[in-house]
Structures are given as C-alpha cells and as structure tokens.
Amino acid sequence: MALPKDPRQKMINIMYLVLTALLALNVSAEILNAFKVVEFSLSGSNNVLNESNKSIYSNFEEMLKDPKTSEKAAIWKPKADQIRVLADDVYNKIEGYKLGLKEESDLDKSTGVFKEDDIEAPTRYFTNKGFGPALYQALGEFKVKLLAIDNDMAKQVGSKLPLNLDIPKSNAGNTLTGDKVTDWVNSYFHMTPTIAALTILSKLQNDVKNSENIAAAFCANQVGSVKLVLDKFEPLVGTSSNYLMPGEEMIVTAGLGAFNSNVKPVVTIDGRSISVNASGVAESKFSVGAAGTKSMNVTVSFIDPNTGENRTVSKKVNYTVGVPSGVAASADKMNVLYIGVDNPLTITAGAGSEKVSAQFSAGTITKAGGSKYIVKPAAGSYGDQTVTILVDGKSVGKVGFRVKQLPNPTAYVGNLRPGTVPSASFKAMGGIIAKLEDSEFDAPFEVVSYRVGALSSDIPDYAPVDNKGPRWAGPAANLINKLKPGALVAITDITVKGPDGRTRVLPSGLSYNLK
C-alpha cells in the first residue's frame, strides 16, 4: 500500500503492518497438530478408495471373460479405463504440487523435515509462481473430461461428484477480487500454513479419487453383475468433511465395502443406532459443536454370508472443528472459566467491536467495553461450555472453554502462617481468614465455622470447641484468651463459603506453637 506523507500516519500504518504480520505468524502447535490429524485421516481414506477402484477395474476383467457380460463389458471397460487415466493424471499432478510446496518450505530431503508453520511459502508457490491457477485449471479440466466420457453418466452422477471448485464463503468478511480463479487460490492458499495447504491438497486428491470411484462404478453397473464370491468384508466409514467450522453440518456415511441384498449391517455411532437404507448404508447428520479436534466411534456388525459368523468391526473417525479466520475468544487471566467470579475475556471477530456481541452457554456474558467481556458461569455449570461470537447478530464462530469451581482457599489466623508464633500476636488476630493464594482472581471467601482445641501444661486434655463465624467468640474465645506460651493450638473442620455460594470444608487444618 502507498504510505501517506504525514509522518504520524505513516508510523501508524507501519505499526499496523508489523502487528498484522505478527498475528499472522502466531500459528499454535495445537492448530498444526490438528491439520496433521486431518492429513492422516485423508491419507487413510485415499488408500481405501484406491483399493475400491482397483476392485472395480479388476471386476471388468472378470466380466470380459464371462460370456453373459463380455459384450457389454467390451463397451464400458474402455470408458472406465479413460476414467482411470484422467484421475491418475490429476492425482499425480497434485502429488507433484505437494512436493513443490514442501521444497518451497525449506524441505530437507535427507530427513523429510520442512517448515510446517510457514505461512508465506503457500502464497509464493500458488500465487506468485502460478501453480494455484494451474491446479484450478487441472481440476476443472478433469471434471469436464470425466463427464464428457458418457452422456448418461454425466446426467446421473454429475451432481454427485464431490469435486467442487466454488469459492468457499468467508466468515471473516474477506473481500473478493471478482476473478474466480484468483479468489479460489487466495481462499485456500493465501497466508495459509504449509501443513494446512498440504491438507487441502490431500482433500482435493480425495475428491478426485471419490469422483473416479463414482464414475467407474457407474460404468460397471451398466454391464451387470457377475458371479462373485465375497471373501472379505470391511466397513467403509466416510464423513462429509474432516475439517469444519463451528455450527456446520457433519454427514457420516457407514456401511460394508462388499455386501449383497441379504447382508445388512447394524451400524452404531458413539453408541447410537443408525438405520440402514436398502443399499446397506447408514447415514447420520448432526451439527458439530465448538472448535477443537474430535473423534467418533463407528461400529459395523454383520453376518458373513460365506461362513455364517457374526462379525463386528469398529473404526475411530477423527475430525477437526476450526475457528473462522479472525474469530477468537481468549481468557485474560486463566485458561479456564471459574464459577461465581468475573472472568475477563477478549473477543475479536474481524469486525468493529460495535458490531460484535457474544453469548455464553452456561451463565452470563456482558460487554465491558471494546473487545473486553466479563463471563460469569452459573452455579453447577461444570465441564465444557461454549462462547458463541456474533457479528451483527449472526453467529460467526464458537469457542469452547472448561468451566471449573474455584480452588480451595488457604486459611490463616490473621496474617500468621502455621508454625511457631508469639502468643500475644496470635491472640491479637482475633480470628481466621481464608483467601486464594497465587491467584489472578480476587475471590472473597467467608469463614462459616471451625473447631479450636489446645494442649498445654494447664490444659492436659484436648477438648475442641465449635466456633461460628470468622472471629472467635464464646467458648473458643475463652479457650484462646487463657492460652500461655508453650501451648499447642489446632484449628480444624474449617468451613468456608465461596463467591459462588457453595459451602466447603477445607481439607487441612491449622496448627500453631505459641511462644
């Protein structure tokens, strides 16, 4: 951007650029790890699709040999072979882009290590060096050429192909240039960490393999079935996405990799039974929650038609719920929210603070000014809770927080720590207090009651007495007033009431030697 002539404004603009760069560089280890989890999941899914595609092409060879199907197979096998060539070509191109991006991110070929958090390398590689538009063109040509192989196939499966070159919506208010290719490249690779860009490339490879599978299966279905012995059954579990934004819908599809009309699986997801359709496939839809790396357990049970045995196979499906760019909520004092006290938060959403508001799932949240908020969890709201961030009244993201009770306070007689203390100082304190030690919160605790007992030369029997309130009174005051140097004093069963209204007994008491 052009710098203004006014020195003060020039300095402000320079500071803005520096701060923006620092924010862009602040990519946490948790986010990088989340992309690694997604990358691993996609690689596994691609391997499953490769095996499925190999099975389809192998089945064509069997259909060519069978007199009942050889005539039709001779028509449809060449079309399936075209599909395979197109898919392999674009898949390998993307693999080349992945290697090129790693090299752009200082790849050490001897160790395979590269800068996973480099946010400039994807921009240089896909925008400045032009590989982004080339990738977009290759994907577009693949889809067009694939559907051009057969008109009936284009009509029946064209809308089912997962490869989508639409520009993803931005919740952060990013502006578009109007050029579809440029906006598509910027949306996926501009200032994106290298590991995230690699994950996006793996997702595109997954879309290519999925499209190949759908098209090749269509060709095989036009020939008709051949007698095939099903000697292996594996559950196929798929999700609509491995990386979602808060509030987006997750679709889980589960079934058997090989089955006939007499083999219907029983599918459960995290213990919930999911109904199966006529094809033996179960589909579950649900809205994902707050940001973070998550997983679900999918179990598929079935009867093996070849052996008659009951079989059950479980799969763990990992996915990540991301935080929209520019949306963040962070606790100012601790990494948790405490019940009964004012917890300060800083909330940003890529928009002016006057447009931003927030909601809290288990208590109140109020704006303190600018980007500052105060959250007060309600009594009993333990565990994971959610802060929903809104811009102009519309949700743009959710951030999860752990809600806990305040820790136990530490009790003292006045300002005296347990141990050996002067007798006169001990008596002058007049009672006990309870406060949080080494805490960012000024959370007052009220002393409700306790027991006081003593042993000395003139008090041979330990007989503790009860005391109500923080100051000693009645029998407790009488006992303490007659103590002399050499006495041993014990204060136990200290009961306090916190700012959340909850009463608790402290796990340890106090002991003093008077001198």
At 66-103, the pLDDT tens digits run: 888 888 888 898 998 999 999 899 999 989 998 998 89
- Under DSSP, the state recorded for 384 is E
Band (pLDDT 50/70/90 cuts) for residue 12 is very low
* pLDDT number for residue 295: 76
Q: Stretch 56-72: mean pLDDT, rounded? A: 85
* pLDDT number for residue 418: 92
Q: Stretch 141-162: mean pLDDT, rounded? A: 87
Integer-rounded Cα radius of gyration of the chain: 33
Beta-bridged to residue 451, according to DSSP, are 466, 492
Could you tell me what percent of the chain has a pLDDT over 70?
A: 75
Residue 384 has pLDDT above 80, yes or no: yes
Nearest-angstrom CA–CA distance, 312 and 13: 62
Q: Stretch 11-34: mean pLDDT, rounded? A: 48
What the block records as the tokens of 236 is: 């196929």
pLDDT digits (tens, 9 = 90+) for 338-348: 888 888 888 88
Residue bearing tokens 């959370």? 443
Residue 498 has pLDDT above 50, yes or no: yes
Q: Stretch 480-486: mean pLDDT, rounded? A: 90
Amino acid at 221: N
By the 8 A CB rule, do 405 and 338 touch?
yes
* pLDDT number for residue 33: 60
* pLDDT number for residue 225: 46
* pLDDT number for residue 8: 46
Q: Stretch 447-455: mean pLDDT, rounded? A: 93
Band (pLDDT 50/70/90 cuts) for residue 247 is low
Nearest-angstrom CA–CA distance, 422 and 89: 87
373 or 321, which is more confident: 373
Band (pLDDT 50/70/90 cuts) for residue 29 is low
Band (pLDDT 50/70/90 cuts) for residue 250 is low
Nearest-angstrom CA–CA distance, 474 and 174: 71
* pLDDT number for residue 367: 92
* pLDDT number for residue 420: 92
Nearest-angstrom CA–CA distance, 265 and 363: 43
Nearest-angstrom CA–CA distance, 196 and 473: 66
Its pTM stands at 0.42
41-45, 69-73, 284-288, 305-309 — which one is most confidently predicted on average? 69-73
Closest to 238 (Cα-Cα) out of 322, 160, 298: 298
CA atoms within 13 A on the CB side of 200: 23
Over the chain, what is the mean pLDDT?
Answer: 79
55-69, 76-90, 105-119 — which one is most confidently predicted on average? 76-90
Band (pLDDT 50/70/90 cuts) for residue 467 is very high
Q: Stretch 272-277: mean pLDDT, rounded? A: 78
Q: Stretch 424-445: mean pLDDT, rounded? A: 83
